[in-house]
Amino acid sequence: MMEHADALLPIDVPPPRPARRLAAVAIALMILGAALCALALRNQHDRSCFAVGWLWAFCFVVSISLGSLFFLALHYLTHSIWSVVVKRVADMLAASLWLTPVLFIPVALFVLFPNRFDLFPWLGDHGDHEIHVRREYLNAPFFLARGAACVLLWSAFAWHFVRRSVRQDRADAAKSLASLLRMRAVSAPFMLVFAVTLTAASVDWLMSLEPNWISTMFGVYIFAGFTVTGLATLALATVWLRATGRLPRSLVSDGRLYSFGGLMFAFVSFWGYIAFSQYMLTWYANLPEESFYMVERAGGRWLGVSVALALVRFAIPFLVLLPRRAKMSPRLLVATSLLLIGGQLLDLYWLIARPYHSAGPAIGWQEVGPLLFCVGLLGLFVAWFVSRYPMVAAGDPMMEMSRRFRET
Amino acid sequence: MTRGDSILAPAPLIDGRLSPRQLDDDIYRPLESFPTFRWWIAISITGSLAGLFAFCLYFTVSRGIGMWGNNQPVGWAFDITNFVFWIGIGHAGTLISAILYVLRQTWRTSISRFSEAMTLFAVFIALQFPLFHTGRPWQAVFWLIPFPNDMSVYQNFRSPLEWDVFAVGTYGLVSLMFWYTGLLPDLATARDRARSSLARFLYGLASLGWSGSARAWRHYEKAYILFAGLATALVISVHSVVSFDFAVAVLHGWHSTIFPPYFVAGAIFSGFAMVASLVLILRKMFRLQHIVTLSHVELMNKIIIATSLMVAYAYAMEVFMSWYSGFGPEWFQTVTRATGPYAWAYWTTIACNIVAPQFLWLRRVRRSPWLTYPIVIAVNVGMWLERFVIIVVGLHRDSLPSSWGMFFPTWVDIGLLAGSFGVFLTLVLLFCRFLPTVASTELKAVTAER
């Protein structure tokens, strides 16, 4: 919190350089993933599993990028000082939202060809009179329009923030300042757009898979999970960039990691609070029209997934991150981040796959294919970004202030 | 300093450069001077209202709960509305003192002490309503607090009302200890500055013999951060448990999973509105405009608009989900709120809580006490009505039209509502006379750090 009056040495910005190993691994994952996806398209059963897997992988990648975009907007909105030194990491992951319009295309195809993929139960005529959804909301054209609006708006906002941020690197002080003030001004309306689009997306892509179920908390639940995932990935990327010398250790000290740990701890607690409230209220009221969602996930082999979810997403990270020292330890932070990212995969699987695997959780190669492909694509994007842009936002007018900032 | 630095640097914590001595002089002046004429006028008005509160309580106890407008089917009305409203008011205090402390927001220091005190008064008032709703408050301790008895009769631990006893009780106690811990160094300052020996003795007693030694400070800092951490969790849990009073019920309009965070956001929203409506007057009355600056007003207004939007999100989700579900009774409840006999309350809530705060998008409005004032008053009204809508509208039209009914408040209901404000403001006025309203020691520390 305290600031020193003495002058700081100029920052030594490591120039961008290619991340060949990451790119090679990413390409290998993509090729393997694409091959599995192609294999899965052959027959009806594999295609259905592929559709489930694609939705799973798509939502996972969106959670990383959108969580990072939220972090970035929050950074501007709150005039945050500590996070300026890691701003470019958030820029990088938020920019990966540009991939989402492409990744959304298969989801659109699932909706356009319901007989071939059989993903959304509200599509087509199943003769299931139990489904009493609002057809005026859940229909193919409106669904596609909403989805397209979401991914395009996210991409546009990511474009706005990231393009201005990288331009600051070369701009003069006055331009940089104007740019920063502009981003701050846009960050507030972005939050409104974010709340509406994230809720619409979570209802469409996740909640409507069991169209008879509703929970007014659902959007908040998804938001909590996305934010935790974004933060975990940011922390992971920051430690990686620091270890590979792209982010100077003088800029991001272990002490600076404390803020990541603190925020992560806060959002882990928030997720636990939201998940508990949603579950407890459903359980307590025990109304058949809504409790079935929890009942079917609390029986048989799905119970294990539900319990694991509570442990991985809340109990373990909460206890690990509670001590002050843990928040500053890069090793513990990486371990917790990996656990939380795994938790997001588990959570999305818990939300998506239950209707298709009522006997018990099962992950086949058909589901793994899309995941490998999407994660590979994200990795390739990261490799491209680090080879092109410096990882230190040296042109940010707040950089000096951020470097002087000390965790207390 | 470049142009950028002057724009980007955080606003100063206080206007102008004050020595620690001058700061103390300004903060302790109300304690050390004879009350002004205006103070006497104010306390006589609020004191009369507090008297009305006591009279209405007496009337309630002597004649029975039938003096209230509560009936079948509206079994909860003004009492629980007031309870939730006052508990909510307390939230801003804990948010400012604990959550903003954990988030290292040093600007909180100028308003933290006052809002913490407000929390305690609000919780105290809130407790009166469920207590007196039991009908025989002097026996309520046996009904509410579990302890062994001959009849082996125990509380129903499955009832959220019983959870309330623990949630609110813990919250009240931790808030009290937190507030008192923070007050210790300032009480010692008041002791050291006191001119009469009685005041020196009393402030000395209250400060627990604070010596200001390094050891005392070390313990103090540890205790403070510990209480802040506990209070952060409690401020979330207490209003969540209050929301469970409604959300666990199988009643359309009450059972909604978003209730816990929605209630917490609403509580912070109404609490900040209350802090703003009092602080704007106090900073003028006690000439503290350089300590509670326009930047503070602006920051408070930013929190008000942020929480207003969260509340708006919750309103929107309730309407959307009741429509999306295609479930008749849920949608009927939504339509009843908007078009039924209490539609005026619903639309006033929307106007006060959602529409009015939108003016705070403008920086000019955020930084103007005069333009802020009507907005925060509107929010106070709106948040009270919001609880009224949830409770009374939810109850008055059941699934069976044969059991529909209306609620009309009696004069006792209205007297208790008005009187609760009287008690609250009386306590605030007394607090301003006898205790430092600004955390002077902490303010000195954070301004020195800057």
Prior bond of B73 cis (ω within 30°)? yes
One-letter amino acid identity for A124? G
CA distance A374 to chain B (A): 31
Residues 6+ apart with CB under 8 A from B238: B87, B167, B168, B170, B171
Domain residues for the domain of B139 are: 3-449
CA distance B201 to chain A (A): 37
Q: Degrees (nearest 5) of the Cα angle A49, A52, A58?
A: 135
pLDDT at position A121: 87
Where do the H-state alpha helices sit in B351-410?
Answer: 363-366, 369-388, 394-396
CA distance A37 to chain B (A): 34
Q: How far apart are CA A236 and CA A222, in angstroms?
A: 21
SS3 (DSSP) at B186: helix
Residue A302's alpha-carbon distances to A274, A282, A342, A390, in angstroms, are: 21, 18, 17, 45
DSSP string covering A75-103: HHHTT-SGGGGGHHHHHHHHHGGGGHHHH
How does DSSP classify residue A283? H
Q: How far apart are CA B176 and CA B120, in angstroms?
A: 7
Q: How far apart are CA A40 and CA B66, in angstroms?
A: 71
Contact status, residue A393 vs residue A78, Cβ threshold 8 Å: no
A3 band by pLDDT with thresholds 50, 70 and 90: very low
Residue A1 has pLDDT above 50, yes or no: no
From the candidates A130, A191, A217, A293, which should be mutated to test the interface with B, based on the most B CB atoms within 10 A?
A: A217
Domain count, chain B: 1
Q: Tokens 């299931």 identify what position?
A: A128
Choose the closest CB to A397 out of B4, B240, B257: B4
Per-residue b or e along A166-196, where b marks 16 or more CB atoms closer than 10 Å to that residue's CB: bebbeeeeeebbebbeebbebbbebeebbbb
| Chain A residue numbers touching B256 (CB-CB < 8 A) | 216, 281
Neighbours of A313 (CB within 10 A): 26
One-letter amino acid identity for B165? V
pLDDT tens per residue across all 450 residues of chain B: 455 566 777 777 787 778 888 888 888 888 777 778 888 999 999 999 999 999 999 999 999 999 999 998 999 999 999 999 999 998 888 888 888 888 888 888 888 888 888 989 999 999 999 999 988 888 888 888 887 777 777 888 889 989 999 999 999 999 999 999 989 999 999 999 888 899 999 999 999 989 889 999 999 989 988 998 888 889 899 999 999 999 998 888 899 999 999 999 999 999 999 999 999 988 888 888 888 889 889 999 999 999 999 999 999 999 999 999 888 888 999 999 999 999 999 999 999 999 999 999 999 999 999 999 999 999 999 999 999 999 999 999 888 889 899 999 999 999 999 999 999 999 999 998 888 888 888 888 887 776
Residues 6+ apart with CB under 8 A from B377: B273, B277
| Chain A residue numbers touching B240 (CB-CB < 8 A) | 273, 277
What is the pTM (predicted TM-score) of this model? 0.94
CA nearest neighbour of B110 among B411, B407, B443, B447: B443
E strand intervals along A3-51: none
Q: Tokens 């600051």 identify what position?
A: A168
pLDDT at position A159: 95
User: What is the arithmetic mean of pLDDT over A24-41?
Assistant: 95
CA distance B380 to chain A (A): 24
Choose the closest CB to B449 out of A2, A180, A273: A2
**Distance between first and last Cα of chain A:** 6
One-letter amino acid identity for B368? S
> Dihedral sign, CA of B225, A227, B167, B118?
positive
Q: How many residues does chain A have?
A: 408
CATH of the domain at B376: 1.20.1630.10
| Chain B residue numbers touching A191 (CB-CB < 8 A) | 309
B411: its two tokens: 């004069």
Contact status, residue B334 vs residue B319, Cβ threshold 8 Å: yes
Residue B229's alpha-carbon distances to A87, A261, B101, B205, in angstroms, are: 28, 16, 9, 28
pLDDT at position A2: 43
| Chain B residue numbers touching A192 (CB-CB < 8 A) | 309
